Structure 1
Amino acid sequence: MWETPRDGMYPAVIRHALASWEAWPALRPPNPANGDGMHPLDWTAIAASVAAARRDGHLVWLSLPHGHTFLRLQDLRGYQNLVFDMADDEPRLAELIAMVEGFNAALMGRILDLQPDVVGIPEDLGMQHTPMLSPAQFRRYIKPSYQRLTEPCRRAGILIHEHCDGCVMDLAEDLVECGGNVLNLQDRVNGLDNIRRALKGRVAIDLDIDRQHVTMHGSARDIDDLIREPVEKLATPAGGLSLMYHAWYPTPARNIAAVCTAIERYCFPR
């Protein structure tokens, strides 16, 4: 069962299919031929869309579903149960991870058949101040799946875009080792100086602009500073930086306009 605090926002699971391991024998993965575990998929229509994009000279970008591994395990078990499983070396957890990875690998195979330019592997691993799991837990339980999923992309020369919300600097080196060419991470929770030290010049940075505080409640000057600083600290003449911004309710329209004005000023100077 899913619940969302507001229509249009991504929901959270409030009733977990595998809240008890007693349900494990009956658990079956979805069919990757017709869905990604969250939404129905029409692979024929996707192939037609890819062909049209390629014909028109556009970048072809396909993606695994958001929350494909760690969050999928959390959806199934619940967050507390999942981290307890990791701490307790629960033997059935390895079987569950294998099931989730097998489903994702089947999706990835279909994606690679379409020969995209970029493959996204979006997942949220962080909270406000720390990752949701320890680096040791990530390296033992999640990172190997990531690496196996991205290996076919690397062999095929396909770029990998890794989206990862929250404070994840403790995992930054591991995320690079998972094969990401582009890391999409958030600005204020990770810290621009931390991002610069760990990632600048190594991978392309797709910076997610704060939508919780400054752009929602700040002044036009605050917002201008928020956009200017990452351009000064993370951009290079060769590139390597992009900015993304999602406006969330109840951000006032004047602040959204201030974001757009600042992006035009610093990212597209005349």
Structure 2
Amino acid sequence: MKSNAYRAIFFEKPDYIPMAFHINAACWHHYPQDWLVDQILKHPLLFPDYRPPKLPYTPVYSLCARRDEPYTDDFGCRWETTDDGITGTVVGHPLADWRAYAAYRFPDPERQMGIGPVDWAKEKESIDSAHERGEFVCRGLRHGHTFLQLSDIRGYSNLLFDMADDEPLLFDLIGKLEDFNHAIVRRYLELGADMISFPEDLGMQIGPMLSPEQFRRFIKPSYARMMRSCRDRGVPVHMHSDGDIRALADDIVDSGVAVINLQDLVNGIDWIRARFRGKLCVDLDIDRQKITVYGTPARIDELIRSEVEALATPQGGLSMIFGLYPGTPMENVAALMDAMERYMQWY
């Protein structure tokens, strides 16, 4: 039997709208832990099979999200953060000077994911176990796999100058990066992942981080080749990007995307509805800048309801996700959980 997530993606009348509520690891030291656990337990539709940890609880922070522990990743990029659980910023770019390129070495996809080590035997066990439980399994590349990785390696300004100059070494760097990423995609396909994710932020608050022309020339070809490997196996592609990506949307979708995860208010619900409703599955990233932080619980309920009304169809094509980070008022966190559970049964 096809999973609810699959039916939502392919417009095959899911039983409910898939809703995900992600709690960033930093929240465990910014909110009262007993309150956070209580909210999770009150919302079993969002958190099925949840088992509370013993309190006090300290999550395992990702390697690039540890305060006072700078981390150098597999590409030689140096990360720093000021708060445990919050992904850091790259402050050291290994190829800030192209003269270092001759000695530069790429990571090994047999052992490394780009942001840390990988054990493919354990990945296989994880995927097989999830399938035994009847789960729809999504796996994929690390966040920031192509454009942002190039930016981390070279530095953002350097990268854009390289694009403007048609720097020959940039094309070589892109090709080697694609080979690395493509090896990971192929491995997850071989292991039986049901969907492959390509998470990468391309948007700013207003407009994209690179021009549509630069995206088409330097980034889209790699996207298209990697995504074609998924399509050839009948595996849907999930693409995530924060920010305003309206100017890039057509090219992103044209690369082979089946599910697009984009932010609601910065792109505009009316635009998202006109562009995607009933045509492509939208995994809507719920606002975490304005209404959910500064609005009332009633306004939050109205936001979720209006977005479901605008984008959902009885056939499917909509899922929604909220990422909780420190700073959202506690009453608004509860209101979000309530609203997401309430409106997931819209049809």
Name the TM-score class by shorter chain.
Answer: over 0.9
What is the CA–CA distance in structure 2 between the aligned matches of 1:240 and 1:130, rounded to whole Å?
Answer: 25
Q: Which runs of 5+ in 2 are unaligned?
A: 1-77
1:128 paired residue number: 205
Matched, 1:63 2:140: yes
Which of the numbers 269, 293, 316 marks the counterpart of 1:239? 316
Write out per-residue CA displacement over residues 208-267 of structure 1, whole angstroms, 9 at most, x where no aligned residue. 001122111211122112211111111111111111001111112111001111112222
1:27 paired residue number: 104
2:140·2:184 contact (CA, 8 Å) conserved in 1?
Answer: no
Q: How does 1:5-84 map to 2 (within 5 A)?
A: 5-84=82-161
Which of the numbers 263, 266, 270 marks the counterpart of 1:193? 270
What is the CA–CA distance in structure 2 between the aligned matches of 1:269 and 1:105, rounded to whole Å?
Answer: 38
Q: Equivalent residue of 2:271, what SS?
A: helix
Q: 1:64: how far off? A: 0.9
Which of the numbers 245, 264, 270 marks the counterpart of 2:341? 264
What is the CA–CA distance in structure 1 between the aligned matches of 2:155 and 2:302, rounded to whole Å?
Answer: 39
1:108 paired residue number: 185
Q: Equivalent residue of 1:147, what SS?
A: helix
1:184·1:206 contact (CA, 8 Å) conserved in 2?
Answer: yes
What is the CA–CA distance in structure 2 between the aligned matches of 1:51 and 1:248, rounded to whole Å?
Answer: 31
Q: 1:52: how far off? A: 1.1
The residue type paired with residue 57 of structure 1 is G
- After TM superposition, the runs of 4+ consecutive aligned structure 1 residues lying more than 4 A away are none
Matched, 1:209 2:286: yes
What is the CA–CA distance in structure 1 between the aligned matches of 2:340 and 2:138, rounded to whole Å?
Answer: 24
What is the CA–CA distance in structure 2 between the aligned matches of 1:226 and 1:254, rounded to whole Å?
Answer: 15
What is the CA–CA distance in structure 1 between the aligned matches of 2:200 and 2:307, rounded to whole Å?
Answer: 23
Q: 1:67: how far off? A: 0.7
1:121·1:161 contact (CA, 8 Å) conserved in 2?
Answer: yes
Q: Equivalent residue of 1:256, what SS?
A: helix
The residue type paired with residue 259 of structure 2 is V
Q: Which runs of 5+ in 1 are unaligned?
A: none
2:230·2:237 contact (CA, 8 Å) conserved in 1?
Answer: yes
The residue type paired with residue 4 of structure 1 is T
The residue type paired with residue 204 of structure 2 is M
1:4 paired residue number: 81
2:239 paired residue number: 162
Q: Equivalent residue of 1:153, what SS?
A: helix
Number of paired residues? 270
Identity %: 50
2:330 paired residue number: 253
1:172 paired residue number: 249
Q: How does 1:133-148 map to 2 (within 5 A)?
A: 133-148=210-225
More helix per residue: 1 or 2? Answer: 1
2:259 paired residue number: 182
Q: Equivalent residue of 2:215, what SS?
A: helix
RMSD: 1.2
